[in-house]
Structure 1
């Protein structure tokens, strides 16, 4: 986004229009008399919150509704402008660029039994950030659309992402060994003479896991000169991080040291993966059906003409620092063993990629 002092009016039109378009396609759940009787003192579906932080003032419109939708678009492009600087890690034209973007899926798409499995959204909101300049003029500096909770399939050919995407990969180490053997044309005998293959073999079925983030291709860096990267084209295990295991025993205790990543490599395996490998990603608890209990929290998309801190509605008391331009936030909630991730991918799919689920009625998988 250009370094102008005003956020273009078309940004507001895009953000508000997007939410209205979603609402127009949504299935609203009716409230019975008992539920209505519990609503007092304010409109049932819209509330307004005002707050301040540092020298920013915020106005948030909360839509108290559950939304279910299936939507397809040719392209989602946010923050389309010329960027420079070391932390711009690709030549993609937009901060966020997803072709054949879709929310929701269609099961048995090419049959008479086709059924829609919608993307579920709970408590969506639109928020605006203002700042008073040196001349005492209050100006709009940012806007975002967010969800209290979200659950379902997000599909697309992800060309670039800017923001915070915190996922987790997990599975037995034997999956990584099998993949390594396939990539290097090894068998059970020749594996014994390959240091990396042997180490993976000794790990056996030890359960391993790792956090994954947006990172720079080839290096695994998530920041450059202390600044977060933007326009990332890959996701993976960050430089200096490693696989982990909660199991006991000597091999399990050695896994973090043996698998420390450097230049997108660990134990001879690639640890950085093209975002385009993942055609469909399930947001929220895998297999979950109830957005209120299984949905991912804290997701938002924002546009700002300067670095704006947005209140983290999923982690109380925290703020999310965003760069000027477009920003997508898919955070984990909580810490340690209590952490809940917006995206969980088993190790097999992490190494090989995820195919696109059908998002159209009929034979077309996308572009309907």
Structure 2
């Protein structure tokens, strides 16, 4: 077997929920004649989901939702499956990224599956002719939900979208255990540094931040939480974490992880305060939580190695992982969420589609 097939086969073994759903889909064919367009992280667990939808009769067109999260061997393996068309490529340019989005939309999908809302945004801004035939879609990450809610409040969202990110199963398992465990794994395998004894600064105490803070403490870290919501900040305090502003935490942290889904969390005002050797990473969807552009323009010597960019400021060196992108997938050895967590995520999407979008009499 080729490497992509081996990865998919390994993941499938630990995804019993999707395997059970696939058996039902093969019998019932709920998506027969339907085209589904997807923009997701193209790796082995996603591939099992794509296979499941295709087994239910769908014609699936998929591309990546992050320029650095695609595993090329998995993308190649998907292209060898019937009714599956994959356009994703790792380390693609911005132009190539959106060209692949357009290839998915050229297939005129009836349903979209988004991680970050790039498909939906493209439809509403550049491909509005598709609004006549779109039944609906889903969005599975916090950043995408923020964007969708802003569109909805402005009256600009033209078709229904299921907020998969808001389901309890997503928050309690995917965000807490998936993001928490996989982000720390990616940091450790990329840097080979010890977590125990270090000050780990977690920005944001939503579900992702809670999971990451708890798991870092389990590895022996001295965890600091920064949070602007007073109730969440109080919750972090009551959970036993040190709580302070990023201005205060900047000089104390050894490892920083942002988990907010918002912009400009660690910025130019924080970099000069940091320790020599501080490690900065982002566990939010888009590369907007760390002000990497400022470092690129204003830092001294820049050294690059696999998954790490090092910047010199005032005689101190700061290390940014994965260009400030989603650390658990964008580092060279990033594997994303644990398989079992993604099995539950795949269940949520397929269940929502089969029961809501394609139930008799649905619109």
Q: Normalising by structure 2, report the TM-score.
A: 0.23
Q: Identify the structure with the greater strand proportion.
A: 1
Q: Normalising by structure 1, report the TM-score.
A: 0.23
Higher relative contact order (CA 8 A, sep 6+): 1
**Structure with larger Rg:** 1
